[in-house]
Structure 1
Amino acid sequence: MAKKSRTKARDTAPAEGEVGPRQPCPCGSGKRYKACHGAAGGAAPVFVNRPFEGLPGECDVIALRELVPAATVPLTVPSTDREVRLCTLLPMAAPAMVRDSGAIWLGLQVAHQYGDPARDLGAVLEAAIATTEPGIVGLTSPPGEGKRLQDLITDDSLDITVHDGFGYWADDVEVKDDAMAAALEEANGAANPTVRLSGVEAAYWTNVGPKEHLRWVMPHQEDELLSALARLHAAGQDSVAEGSRFVGMFRAHGLLAPVWDLPVGTGADVLEGPAATFAADLTEALSQSGDLSAAERSARAGLANRQVTIR
């Protein structure tokens, strides 16, 4: 009698854009997809791989949600005449706040884990618009079908302000007591200095103390971007400053964010010219369609192994 194979049957390979059952769940839970959002009765029936697609400044929105401590963006919402402000983080990590003035502040850095953060933001925004009493607005259950944030705004571009800290929490109130002042001081102490480069889209310098980084969310399809980055790496064209080192990539909400380590003391200003040059070189590399060389294939394999999924 023939021996049974000890090799376990492999799961069917996922189609492009889907998450394999044995892969980590992109919601960030740390579980395999089949045990989380992919399970029957899991945390959400649908997982959207690229939830912010179609938003103006998609790459910046991802950066503000995952990488930038303190930033604000005014939004134009035709369904209300009230001020609407998108914020990286709100006090107590609130999903949204209706202020005493009636203004609506919407928080990006909230983990609802309902499968589609853009739908979550849309549901919270609609709930805040329907609320007249000041206070915190959030979700206590999956929002179901409905409008996503990109369906509710009419902005063609984002006017992003990166702040030194969370002083914007008190933009419309006076800090009257020691408790509020202490809360702001504590929050500010945890915010790493961050600057958005002006010459390219969605590239952010940050100082984390012992190191400085450039983190750059890019809109390109992953396979094409990996090949283009491999071409530049093999050609020695992947530097963004003297002494910089391309160390890997984050994967967040369907896009890649390459990361460079920078020598301490580099700062943001000196990155503007090299970043623009890199962007031009990357555009040229993306236009190349020939097979990768052996060196480029090796570089691509190394880059693929240096990816960390954060959402």
Structure 2
Amino acid sequence: MSTPQPSWGRSSGEVADLNLAPRPADHTDEDIDFGESGLGPTGRPLRQVPEPPLVAEHGPARILALCNQKGGVGKTTSTINLGAALAEFGRRVLLVDFDPQGALSVGLGIQPHHLDRTIYNVLMERDTTVEETVLRTCVPDMDLLPSNIDLSAAEVQLISEVGREQTLGRTLRPVIDNYDYILIDCQPSLGLLTVNALAAAHGVLIPLECEFFSLRGVALLIDTIEKVRERLNPDLEITGILATMYDPRTLHSREVMARVVEAFGEIVFDTVINRTVRFPETTVAGEPITSWAPRSGGAKAYRALAREVIAR
């Protein structure tokens, strides 16, 4: 059952429309096939994930930071499509673009450099509120707190602030009861902005490209997560590791997958995101794969991921 939209926030229709790509035919290519063995791409038996229960009321939100200091591993793609899949299951979702590149905003059809207010203004200006900065997206029950290059200045300006690591958490506090999930798309670094995201979050979702160099960098990320847990946010936990850009045809992808499962065990999601041409298309279209190609393997994978996230 759909839930009413919040009364605040500007419509993304107020900004330029980037929907330039032709909509694909509704077909079932790239469907997930686990075979008759019941084993998923992780090599483990698939765990039973219950059907997400209906929610009678919304909030307080569970905050998840999608974090990896390596770029190009699928953080932004996963933030958009996981958020859209959670919204399909009746959850109200806020996406936070916490990267000065503004890729999350662009991926939802918004041109960041045309915006008068972004998360930078909310962080640094006392008279700018979250409520007046949030934008509606093309997905019902999914809103966006946008970003642009201005955010790069915040990292320098926050250095002299008291409690600088908790700034994002204080910023999100007024709207935490309006949502079921807040997903933070972090920049590809372990600087002050990422530490802010980790300090505000209840959990960390780590997108991990099935490639050797991506695997090497996870140890440094987990060390940072542990330091934040010890010094700033004792409730922080790793919600899960999401294998992305997986190509089952290559020995390298399969070897990396085996190493990931061996190293991290049960925190690795059963859901795996395969390489597909659909994801670049959705960026041009400015909408999630769940609405752009709803029967594709990528859409089904993110719905499966949403079920796992809700179950955890």
For the superposition of Structure 1 and Structure 2, which TM-score range results when normalised by the shorter chain? under 0.3
Q: TM-score, normalised by structure 2?
A: 0.27
TM-score (norm 1): 0.27
Which structure has more helix as a fraction of its residues? 2
Query: Based on CA coordinates, which of the two structures has the bigger radius of gyration?
Result: 1
